[in-house]
Structure 1
Amino acid sequence: MSKIVFVGAGAMAEAIINGLTKEEKVSPAHIHVMNKSDVEQLEHLQISYNVQIVCAERKALMEADIVVLAMKPKDAIDAFGEIASYLNGDTTIISVIAGVSIQTIATHLGSRPIARVMPNTSAAVGLSASAVCWNELVSERSKLEIIHILEAIGSVKVVDEEDLHVVTALAGSGPAYLYYFAEQFEAAAARHGLSLGDARQLFIQTMEGAAQMLKKGDVEPSELRRKVTSPGGTTEAGVEQLVQHKVNEAIFACIDAAQSKSRVLGKQYE
């Protein structure tokens, strides 16, 4: 069984660890975690998931089959410097750092198998929409292992590295957009006298139902919308307001801004 070391112990690292241990895809004895300074978080992960903390001599890094880079982008270069000398030549790198390219990682950690992954925070409940790409040094066997790891936290799509920018904007940041929509849905409902609790449950069920309808894949979103929108009815009145307020333009601007920021972050570390 592969030995995995997480460099970075934040929310995404915990979500992946939770998925791996819950699905019993990797034994906690083979999962090691390290981070820059948050001892309390390391202890939390050790107590919650029975994983191992990387000790000062970094022996776990030397023996790692896979190293998962899960630090914040601003901490990446410093972290690379801290771990580079400990990695063996066969270690595969999996990076969940937004914006930092495979080439940049290779520049700091050497020529080796490297995969980049863009998951989202729904990994915490096993429902991440993850995208992955890799360099030519990742073997077919390793590709299957990486996908196997990612399936512990949700669905996986293999994409070209260039596409990760828009994937970051769409799926990586997507939960935040939906949470924002939920906030406004609840606030609007409260304005008309509905309790926040009732509004939230209605929103959740409505989104789950709509997601399942989309997941069937046999009807386009535009057609599903038309089926709900009766001429002269309440839905039509609501959709007309979305059109008048140019919500479509706001969505385009949202995705454009997020993917542009991903590119800026990437160039920052080249």
Structure 2
Amino acid sequence: MFKDKKIVFLGAGSMAEAMIAGMSASGIVKPAQITVSNNSNTERLKQLQRKYGIHGVPKEELCYENMDVVILAMKPKDAENALISLNHHLRPHQLVLSVLAGISTSFMEDLLPYGQQVVRVMPNTSSMIGESATAISPGKHTSQQNLSIAQRLLQCIGEVFIINESQMDIFTGIAGSGPAYFYYLMEHMEKAGQSGGLDQETTRQIIAQTILGAARMIQEQEESPEVLREKVTSPNGTTAAGLEALSKNGGGKAISRAVKQAAQRSKEISAQLETKKLKVI
């Protein structure tokens, strides 16, 4: 499916690198098929080229006509200008994927040539090791074949979920921003372990294995997180004491609020860009 496909990333930040790393490591897409570009940081392009064996090409030297898949990976605030500049370069057969939080398919379709096939994508930074939870939503002109191409391509970097675009903001709050929540939790668990006498590296590995094991239990056991939690919580035991402390200190509410606030921010970004676009029009 991807033997002769050429892919270009517009934007060379951490998300672009995570996806490039995952795709390159998968073997399904060869590094020579991938190009990355940005507005001005040529040193960053050289760095990615050396590291992954891909092509780093300055924006003004790109030949869009040779590309099959165009992945928008710049900052959301730069999306409008990028889409406008693409308008005169794209052809109907080319597929546009956007990994930008808050950028709707309708926003892209309005600024690209009529009928352009677009897919909104929300991966996370676990793409780098092929373990992303990625959501995709097709635009109104996107064919089933191109949706399948997007799905297969993104399976190079982890699990892919096709969802309604109206669900993309909450998905962003859960999975797009989710790794950072777990890193934050791990930071605090690591500090607690060190204060209890464990060295930092040992504590870090213990925490990582514990989270990995819990995740595997969810994936492999046909039981809900609630049931699994109850099974490991003995009355008046150590786990019960820890959970009581979490509850008293707002642990559950904090997690829910983090997801909802990230989702709300995704909505706000979308609304801001739509308002800006309407003023320009």
TM-score w.r.t. structure 2 length? Answer: 0.91
CA distance in 1, matches of 2:88, 2:219: 46
Say whether residues 1:153 and 2:153 are aligned partners.
no
Say whether residues 1:165 and 2:165 are aligned partners.
no
Say whether residues 1:267 and 2:271 are aligned partners.
yes
Say whether residues 1:81 and 2:84 are aligned partners.
yes
CA distance in 1, matches of 2:263, 2:53: 37
Aligned residues: 270
Q: Indicate the larger mover: 194-203 or 24-33.
A: 24-33
- 2:213 aligned partner: 209
The secondary structure found in structure 2 opposite 1:129 is: strand
The answer to whether the 8 Å contact 1:58/1:86 transfers is: no
The answer to whether the 8 Å contact 2:74/2:100 transfers is: yes
Alignment of 1:23-172 (within 5 A): 23-54=26-57, 58=61, 60-111=63-114, 112-172=116-176
The secondary structure found in structure 1 opposite 2:160 is: strand
The answer to whether the 8 Å contact 2:37/2:59 transfers is: no
Any idea what the Cα deviations from partners look like across 1:170-204, whole Å, max 9, x if unmatched? 00000000000001101112222222222111111
- 1:7 aligned partner: 10
Which letter does structure 2 place at the counterpart of 1:98? A
RMSD of aligned C-alpha atoms?
1.5
CA distance in 2, matches of 1:7, 1:201: 36
Q: Percent of pairs identical after alignment?
A: 39
The answer to whether the 8 Å contact 1:32/1:60 transfers is: no
TM-score w.r.t. structure 1 length? Answer: 0.95
- Deviation for aligned residue 1:129: 0.5
CA distance in 2, matches of 1:229, 1:74: 46
The answer to whether the 8 Å contact 1:21/1:27 transfers is: yes
Change (3 A) 1:168 1:151: same
- 2:185 aligned partner: 181
- Deviation for aligned residue 1:57: 5.5
Say whether residues 1:255 and 2:259 are aligned partners.
yes
Change (3 A) 1:246 1:56: closer
Within the candidate set 17, 21, 25, 2:20 is matched to 17
Which letter does structure 2 place at the counterpart of 1:18? A
Which letter does structure 1 place at the counterpart of 2:91? N
